[in-house]
A and B are shown apart, each in its own frame.
Chain A
């Protein structure tokens, strides 16, 4: 086993442990901080995979923005709805079954991919993956349309947020 594999296993264990804590923590704020731990673990996995850009995005977007939003939302809720309810619903066997099914399906899908279990070839030296991504994003024969559509998607998200805020005001 190489060092990277050991690191990956440790990280994966920490991510899964944090994820379990997210759903079992009684205190919503603790759940939010465990979620941040899990998200950070994913960033570390990206770093192990040499995907520096993805690792940084994981931290900037998920920890820097989405987790902060969760915390703000948590502080908006009233205390009496926070800690009183039971944590496990009546339908938990269905959820477990569904979860296992999805896991089995995903495993089957991944194993069906060609090249599973082989070490990926190293990136050619001198290649800047971020610049290559940028070129792919803006070339007309590649992903320029999804790039612009992403902007429209963000716009609709913003309009939706404005609408929600409007409802809240009235």
Chain B
């Protein structure tokens, strides 16, 4: 073992020797090292969040045919630091009717629930916080804490808009948790483990995206909903409830919500990469050849993973800046009448095919084709449904051409 193929353990061993050499108890040293590791990972993710502010602003500018920040430093790279200074020196206003403790706790919990995800995020095969055997459930549990932070902030603000935003957000998050969990179950079935590292290692030859493209799409959609980003940004809905659950937050407290959202989006991009796109490894078996053994080096794996996560984040941004906002009844109907049944059917098909085709040459093409078949059937059903609705509408209006009925206002 050298620094080049296992840098974290190398540094940890060196530190452990040093600390025990100073006469520290072994148990104490372990705890100190774990604390140091946690600090390192969290600091890294927060520095990343600062960088993401720049990425987000630059990318949205490009989507909207603008230049974006370009004055401070090269390509505007210093802009996020100016943003932070501005957020820190802004007056922090607490509304008179607010519940002080919960009001202050909410932004901290919102960011902490995202940071918690980094404990199980492997950056490379040897760079990770912990390798939990219940990692996928942990992912869902951290999301539950995030939901809690939002409802806490919305309720403690003592503002109608905030409460409305929080309730919409929670309704979105709990609804879309079901398809998300089901789409997480599919990699768990394919890999036979719930550990993120185990799932990533199982994709050495074939990415799970090619075994179950539909699951990846369902995961992406429910991740966007879980994030509360457009088209599911009913929680913020600038044009109707101004900023939703964080309407009353100003200064650094708003900054924490904002940093949490950006980091959350990137983290979900990372999880999409790890669960469906091979994560830090998985170069279609190439990494097993002696000539390409350098692909297994952590100094190659970590940038590869970051690149994949950034692509996932970019797709989430692409969706955000392309789609209009959906109405809450459409949002719920899309989940309960479309996404959840689809995810459950996909889960059942995958479970059976995984058992039937196990070990045969048809394993990969069979699963892939079954996904395509389900997708095709779904599209056909939707098309038939749409046709029927248009016909009914045309019959109702009485003219040959179908007209959209006046949309009814809904909360």
By a beta-carbon cutoff of 8 Å, the part of chain A in contact with chain B is 3, 29-30, 33, 36, 52-53, 56-57, 59-60, 63-65, 67-68, 71-72, 75, 128-131
Contact assessment for B137 and A64 in the assembled complex, using a CB-CB cutoff below 8 Å: no
Q: Which residues of the partner chain A approach B144 to less than 8 Å between Cβ atoms?
A: 59-60, 63-65
Could you tell me the distance in whole angstroms from the C-beta of A54 to the nearest C-beta in chain B? 9
- Let me know if B300 is at the binding interface, CB within 8 A: no
Contact assessment for B132 and A52 in the assembled complex, using a CB-CB cutoff below 8 Å: yes
Q: Would A64 and B132 be within 8 Å (CB), given that A33-B152, A36-B148, A130-B194 are in contact?
A: no
Contact assessment for A56 and B138 in the assembled complex, using a CB-CB cutoff below 8 Å: yes
User: How far is it, in angstroms, between the C-alpha of A71 and the C-alpha of B151 when the chains are bound?
Assistant: 9
Cβ contact of B145, chosen from A57, A63, A131, cutoff 8 A: A63
Residue from the set A3, A33, A131 with the largest chain B CB neighbour count within 10 Å: A33
- Let me know if B104 is at the binding interface, CB within 8 A: no
Q: Which residues of the partner chain A approach B193 to less than 8 Å between Cβ atoms?
A: 128, 131
- Let me know if B162 is at the binding interface, CB within 8 A: no
What are 8 A-B pairs with beta-carbon distances under 8 A?
A29-B155, A53-B137, A60-B141, A63-B145, A64-B140, A64-B144, A68-B148, A75-B167
User: How far is it, in angstroms, between the C-alpha of A53 and the C-alpha of B192 when the chains are bound?
Assistant: 16
Contact assessment for A68 and B134 in the assembled complex, using a CB-CB cutoff below 8 Å: no
Within 8 A of A (CB), among B135-157: 137-138, 140-141, 143-145, 147-148, 151-152, 155
Chain B, interface residues (CB within 8 Å), range: 20 to 34
Cβ contact of B141, chosen from A36, A64, A71, cutoff 8 A: A64
A-facing mask of B90-114, CB < 8 A → 1, else 0? 0000000001001000000000000
User: How far is it, in angstroms, between the C-alpha of A64 and the C-alpha of B176 when the chains are bound?
Assistant: 13
Q: Which residues of the partner chain A approach B148 to less than 8 Å between Cβ atoms?
A: 36, 63-64, 67-68
A-facing mask of B361-405, CB < 8 A → 1, else 0? 000000000000000000000000000000000000000000000
Query: DSSP majority for the B interface?
Result: helix
Q: Would A128 and B138 be within 8 Å (CB), given that A60-B144, A64-B177 are in contact?
A: no
By a beta-carbon cutoff of 8 Å, the part of chain B in contact with chain A is 27, 99, 102, 132-134, 137-138, 140-141, 143-145, 147-148, 151-152, 155, 163, 167, 170, 174, 177, 192-194
Q: Which residues of the partner chain B approach A67 to less than 8 Å between Cβ atoms?
A: 148
User: How far is it, in angstroms, between the C-alpha of A135 and the C-alpha of B134 when the chains are bound?
Assistant: 16
Which residue of chain A has its CB nearest to the CB of B144? Answer: A64
Residue from the set B141, B152, B167 with the largest chain A CB neighbour count within 10 Å: B141
Given contacts A65-B144, A128-B193, 4 further A-B contacts (CB under 8 A): A33-B152, A64-B148, A68-B148, A75-B167
Contact assessment for B141 and A56 in the assembled complex, using a CB-CB cutoff below 8 Å: yes
Contact assessment for B145 and A53 in the assembled complex, using a CB-CB cutoff below 8 Å: no
Contact assessment for B170 and A68 in the assembled complex, using a CB-CB cutoff below 8 Å: yes
Cβ contact of B134, chosen from A30, A36, A64, A130, cutoff 8 A: A130
Q: Which residues of the partner chain B approach A52 to less than 8 Å between Cβ atoms?
A: 132-134
Q: Which residues of the partner chain A approach B140 to less than 8 Å between Cβ atoms?
A: 56, 60, 64
User: How far is it, in angstroms, between the C-alpha of A93 and the C-alpha of B134 when the chains are bound?
Assistant: 45
Q: Which residues of the partner chain A approach B177 to less than 8 Å between Cβ atoms?
A: 64
Q: Which residues of the partner chain A approach B132 to less than 8 Å between Cβ atoms?
A: 52
User: How far is it, in angstroms, between the C-alpha of A72 and the C-alpha of B102 when the chains are bound?
Assistant: 17
User: How far is it, in angstroms, between the C-alpha of A75 and the C-alpha of B164 when the chains are bound?
Assistant: 11
User: How far is it, in angstroms, between the C-alpha of A85 and the C-alpha of B192 when the chains are bound?
Assistant: 54
User: How far is it, in angstroms, between the C-alpha of A60 and the C-alpha of B184 when the chains are bound?
Assistant: 14
Contact assessment for A64 and B147 in the assembled complex, using a CB-CB cutoff below 8 Å: yes
User: How far is it, in angstroms, between the C-alpha of A36 and the C-alpha of B149 when the chains are bound?
Assistant: 12
Contact assessment for B133 and A64 in the assembled complex, using a CB-CB cutoff below 8 Å: no
Could you tell me the distance in whole angstroms from the C-beta of B101 to the nearest C-beta in chain A? 9
Which residue of chain A has its CB nearest to the CB of B193? Answer: A128
User: How far is it, in angstroms, between the C-alpha of A170 and the C-alpha of B163 when the chains are bound?
Assistant: 27
Q: Which residues of the partner chain A approach B170 to less than 8 Å between Cβ atoms?
A: 68, 72
User: How far is it, in angstroms, between the C-alpha of A165 and the C-alpha of B102 when the chains are bound?
Assistant: 32
Contact assessment for B174 and A59 in the assembled complex, using a CB-CB cutoff below 8 Å: no
Could you tell me the distance in whole angstroms from the C-beta of B30 to the nearest C-beta in chain A? 11
